Structure formats: structure tokens, C-alpha cells
Chains A and B, each alone.
Chain A
Amino acid sequence: MRTIRNIIALAIALVLALSLVVTASADVVYRTLDEIKASGTINIGVFSDKNPFGYVDENGEYQGYDVYFARRIGEDLGVTVNYVSTEAANRVEYLETGKVDIVLANFTVTPERAEKVDFALPYMNVALGVVSPDSRVIKDLSELTADDQVIVISGTTAEDYLIKNNPEILLQKYDTYANAKNALENGNAAAWANDNTEVIAFALQNEGYTVGIPSLGSQDTIAPAVSKGNESLLNWINDEIRALAGENFFHKDYEETLVDTYGLDYEDSLVLEGGGLAE
């Protein structure tokens, strides 16, 4: 009797959940450019705890590379910006339900995401990078011998990439950033492969390490995203990004927000101006 009741309860729960997903209304969820202008406020989803891309300073103000751009969008649209604190896991959901107008949260463009949201022109490059000790800087993966191991963090793009493209390389896998860092510092492996922003920041903060390969594999980009089909807003953002290239806006943004973390050496490889078309 009890099991039957449990099964019924489970079924009802599933039906409820399914009905919510299936009946996704065909109504337009997003606000057009004119509606945003008329309302006087734009909702922009940003990270609130990912320094230096989107974070909140000690006065409770949003700051960072993404926020710098968000602020400019607000100024040029002539509306106030309402920052919404998003997490990596709910960025797509926020756009699909129109609860924010734009997501500017270090959002890497991928084909899977592009099916659900519309990406505007990119404003930053990301790729993989490899850092190694100064005593033996690895400048190319071919320099690795059969005895050398490379540190990766499980579940990252770096791990996927190396397994797929360089299966001959021995990997040392760690679950956390801290463990991977310790392993490299203890000399357990020849090099560490991770997102290039991470390894660049590591090499800057720790003496004796150099990023021998600053960009490995396919270049990914970071771009603003809007709800699927929100043409008017998407076009406005694209025009804005093209226009901002004239004043080297994202270089200025980098120098204001990212230079402390990544240094000036990587400015040109990380920053994308005018969606990359102008360069």
C-alpha cells in the first residue's frame, strides 16, 4: 500500500514538472529595444562573485570587465542598469524566461548554448594555456617526452582537449584548483594545462613560472547574450560593439579591470575589439 502511494506521489510530481516544461508558452518572453527604452531600466545578468569579471566591491557596487561594459550599455541606451546576480548554472534560464534582457557574465559562446540564446559579437578571447616552471619552459606540446606528465583539473575543457587531440600525453588529474597548484609547485609534473586566463593569473602571482603556451586549441570567445529571437536588442548591441571599436573601448576596459590580474602582456591576445572584425 505504501509503495503504491509513493509511486502515485512520484508520478504526480513528474507530471507536474513535465507539464511545466512542455507547456513552455509560445508568447514572447523578451522585451524589445523600444520596450526597454520606454521602461527606463534594463536588466543585465552579471556575476557578483567572479573577480575580476563581475563582482561587488566593498561599497556594494558592481564592478569588473563585464560590468564596465554593462554600465556603458546603460549610458548609451539612456536607461538605468538593474544588475541581476546570476550563477554559471542559471544564465541560460534567465534569458529563456526573459527575466533579464542581457547576460554579460563571462559567457563563453558554444554551439549548445547558441541553440537556446542569441549571442552578440564577442568582446573577449579565451583559449587553453599551459604553464610550466622557468627551469624548463614548455613552448610546444611536442617538447614533452614520454616521461613527462601534464596536470589538468578533471572536468575542464583542458582535460577534454588533451584526451581528444593528444592522447599520447600522460595526464595527472586533480579535482580542485588548489590541489593542481600544489602538484605543480611540488614538481609532480612538467606542466599544467587550464583556461589561459587561469594559468596567466597563476604565473603572474607565483614567481618562477612562465606561460609557455598562452593559447592552445580552438579559440573560444566571450560574448553578450540575449533571449532567442530578440533581434532589435541584438542588433543594437552589435552596432554598439562595432561603434565602440573606434575608441578602443575594450582595451580601456581591460586596463581598468583586468590588468591587475593578467598584466599588460596579454592585453592584445585577450581583448576583442569590434567583435574581432576591426582587427
Chain B
Amino acid sequence: MPDLGLEVLWRGKNFVRLLGGLWVALRISLIAAGISVVAGILLGIAASRKRSVSSVILRIWLGIIHIMPQMVLLFLMYFGTTRAFGWNLSGETAAIIVFSLWGAAEMGDLVRGAVSSIPVIQRESAEALGLKPFQVYRWIILPQAVRRLLPLSINLITRMIKTTSLVTLIGVVEILKVAQQIIEANRKASPNAAFGVFLTIFVMYYLACRPLSLAAKKLEKHWR
């Protein structure tokens, strides 16, 4: 077997540090994902009415988020708010806010698309049966929309988990940064450590994202 420099993982607290880094990445992305799902559903429903104020707002918001690379958003939220308003957000808070803004915009758009894809006749029939608008959403529109949404939102959440590697630019030390630290600290003692360490975080990312897609698959089957 080629030398992968895996022994660096067992030196000192390195492995625990990697796990700690993974936890930071997951904490940021999962909190943000939770906020995004709730905000995205509300936003998406509001925006699904054509020519409403909320659909214009969502469009502008989405436009901003799409134009700006996440890195720029992170810089604006972390450094920009200090310059402009004197806020002193921690790196992690800034990251959660940016990821939530991004997630809510994308989620909102997904929900809008899913809701508008439900044939109008469904809504009209429900209304004809005397359901109130809230009941129409709760019992008719959302259950159908959610099934269409599930694969897309899982995709969004896994993308969020992966994008957390950018937060190192605002001083948050997550898994990828820990990996670089370990590789650099052992550059001379184990020059091949890069292979072993990156292989390890590849497996860690996989194990972190896999349960999400498994759960999604199960749900999809369950609803079929």
C-alpha cells in the first residue's frame, strides 16, 4: 500500500480536531438549513402569487444572492457590518446569517416553483369544497409540493455543507482548515499526509451527507 501519511491522524489530538472541524461545518450548515427551510416555505408561498409584491422582493433578493459569490457575502456580513454599523458579529454568526440568506432565497424559489407547478384545478376544487385558504395549503397544495421539493432541498443542504469551507476566510476554523493545518504542521515529517488527510475528510463529508440523502430516499418511497 502506498504511503498515505495516515499516521498523522493519530498524532496528538489530530483526529479529534478533524471531528471538531466537521462539527463546526455541520453546525453552521444545519442551523442555516433549518432557518432556510422555514423561511423559504413562507417566502415561496407568498411569492407564488404572480405579480405580488412578495414575488418581486424574492426576485430581487435572489438576484442579489445569485450575483454575489458567497465569499463576497461573507466578507460583507463579517467585515462590512463592522465598518458600516459597528456591529461585531462573530465569524460563526456571520456565516449562519449569510448561509440562511442564501438558503432562504434558493429555498423560496424552489417552493415557489413547486407550488406553482400544482395544477390550478386542485386549488379551485378545494375552494369549491369550502376549504379556507390556509386549509387549501395545509391539506392540498403543500403535501404535493413537498414531494417535488424534497430532492431539490436535500441537494441545497448538501451544497451548503460543502460551501462551509469558505468560512475560514472570516476566521472560522472548520474541517478543511483543520486539514490544512495538520498537513502543513507535518510537511517535513510526513510529506504524504495530504493524501491521507484529504481522503479522511472525503469520507467524513460523505458520512455526514449520506444520512440526509438516505432519509430523503426513504421519505420519497414512503410517499409513493
- How many residues of chain B are within 8 Å of chain A by beta carbon? 40
Contact indicator A87/B169 (Cβ below 8 Å): yes
Question: Which residues of A59-118 are within 8 A (CB) of B?
Answer: 59-60, 63, 84-87, 89-90, 93-94, 96-99
- Select which of A23, A49, A50, A60 is within 8 A of B13 by beta carbon: A60
Stretch at the interface among A13-21, A147-155, A211-219, A238-246: A13-21
Q: Does A55 contact B (CB under 8 A)?
A: yes
Contact indicator B169/A99 (Cβ below 8 Å): no
Q: How long is the Cα–Cα vector from A204 to B77 in the complex, in angstroms?
A: 44
Stretch at the interface among A24-32, A228-236, A267-275: A24-32
Contact indicator B64/A9 (Cβ below 8 Å): yes
Contact indicator A48/B177 (Cβ below 8 Å): yes
CB closest chain-B residue, reference A58: B12
CB closest chain-A residue, reference B62: A9
Given contacts A51-B185, A55-B184, contact A10 B83 (CB under 8 A): no
How many whole Å from B121's CB to the nearest CB in chain A? 28
CB closest chain-A residue, reference B183: A49
Contact indicator A5/B13 (Cβ below 8 Å): no
Contact indicator A86/B83 (Cβ below 8 Å): no
Contact indicator B13/A59 (Cβ below 8 Å): yes
Contact indicator B173/A93 (Cβ below 8 Å): no
Contact indicator B185/A13 (Cβ below 8 Å): no
CB-CB under 8 A from A35, the residues of chain B are none
CB-CB under 8 A from B11, the residues of chain A are 58
CB-CB under 8 A from A21, the residues of chain B are 80, 83
Q: Does B67 contact A (CB under 8 A)?
A: yes
Q: How long is the Cα–Cα vector from A228 to B1 in the complex, in angstroms?
A: 54
A-B contact pairs, 21 of them (CB 8 A): A5-B59, A5-B63, A6-B63, A8-B60, A9-B60, A9-B64, A10-B63, A17-B76, A20-B81, A20-B83, A20-B84, A23-B84, A48-B177, A50-B184, A58-B13, A58-B186, A85-B177, A90-B79, A90-B171, A93-B75, A99-B171
12 A-B pairs besides A20-B81, A20-B84 with CB distance below 8 A are A10-B67, A16-B64, A17-B68, A17-B72, A20-B83, A27-B86, A55-B181, A56-B17, A57-B12, A57-B185, A85-B171, A93-B79
